Amino acid sequence: MEKVIIVGSGPAGLTAAIYLARANLHPLVISGPEPGGQLIYTTEVENFPGFDQGVLGPELMIKMRQQAEKFGAKFVGSEVISAEFSQKPYKIVTESESFTAPCIIIASGAKPRTLQLKNENLYLSKGVHTCATCDGAFYKGKKIVVVGGGDSAMTESIFLTKFAEKVFIVHRGQELNASEIMQNRVTKNPKIEVMYNTEVKEYLGDGKIEAVQLMNNKNDQSWELKIDAIFLAIGQIPNSRPFINQLTLDKIGYIEATNNIFTKKEGVFVAGDVADWKYKQAITAAGFGCMAALEAEKYLSSLE
């Protein structure tokens, strides 16, 4: 039996692993199908403290893992299939084996919704992005498309106008879903143009995005729009499926937490994007990972 199991190996899981390993608790990290989380799809990270020249997302995740391993964290490259929290020790089941521990930290993250278009994965971080805060600064003076019609899309679009020459909001509906105040801010911004009843049908470019094929879903008219980048703001899918019926999830699927890290199950903590629908940043995920680790250490001490 392990002392503590961490599910996930993004900034939240690896930060928790560093803290718990330094506390001589030898945490077991189940890294999942995408070790390193969303940052492995990011090129230059310029807003993570300590890297004044920026750092590549995959490089940052490798450094964090090496730091955790240095202090005694153990890693298993499996994907969690299910969990059993009805009795202690708690059980985590992967596709190949099961693990038990009295304490669990769930840091399984979330994945952005995408358009599922041809060659989409090839263009990720090469013109197709899912975080304006992370990548917007790379497109100063450029033309950008933002896909979405909710508050997140409006927020991303307004933020991108700090850098971009022009921002096109592409929304498949006849009217925006965002709150009235956010719609007003968008319509009053001279850099933003909203395209209603419009869908992206194809990414165009040689190695990086150079244009998109758009279609009006009312009259089926298609045209090509030359741009430099496209940001997808159509929501995220939290990686919480293995914990259905074991923890309380909200209507979207995020794990409900008190004070960002406490679940309703004693000894089960949560950290990062699997519970954080609001901030979704590497540094906030790392902060929640630290908090979860400190509370997990305190909980394990209470069992002795």
At the topology level, CATH places domain 120-232 in FAD/NAD(P)-binding domain (3.50.50)
151 is a catalytic site residue? no
Cis peptide upstream of residue 89 (ω within 30 degrees of 0): yes
**Which residue in 134, 228, 273, 276 is the catalytic one?**
134
pLDDT tier, 302 (very low <50, low <70, confident <90, very high otherwise): very high
- Please state, in angstroms and rounded to a whole number, the distance separating the CA atoms of residues 21 and 73: 5
Domain with CATH 3.50.50.60 in the chain: 4-112+236-303, 120-232
Mean pLDDT to the nearest integer, 44-68: 93
**Which residue in 131, 228, 273, 276 is the catalytic one?**
131
- Please give the share of the chain, as a percent, with pLDDT higher than 70: 100
In this predicted structure, the answer to whether residue 280 has a pLDDT above a threshold of 90 is no
Mean pLDDT to the nearest integer, 230-252: 95
CATH number of 4-112+236-303: 3.50.50.60
**Which residue in 103, 135, 273, 276 is the catalytic one?**
135
228 is a catalytic site residue? no
Contact predicate 12/267, CB 8 Å: no
- Please state, in angstroms and rounded to a whole number, the distance separating the CA atoms of residues 117 and 94: 30
134 is a catalytic site residue? yes
In this predicted structure, the answer to whether residue 116 has a pLDDT above a threshold of 80 is yes
**Tens digit of pLDDT for each residue in 119-177?**
998 999 899 999 898 899 999 999 999 999 999 899 999 999 999 999 999 999 999 99
Tokens representing 210?
């150079």
* 3 state DSSP class of 53: coil
Residue 105 per-residue DSSP state: E
Residue ranges of alpha helices (H) inside the chain are: 11-22, 57-70, 120-123, 132-135, 151-160, 180-187, 282-303
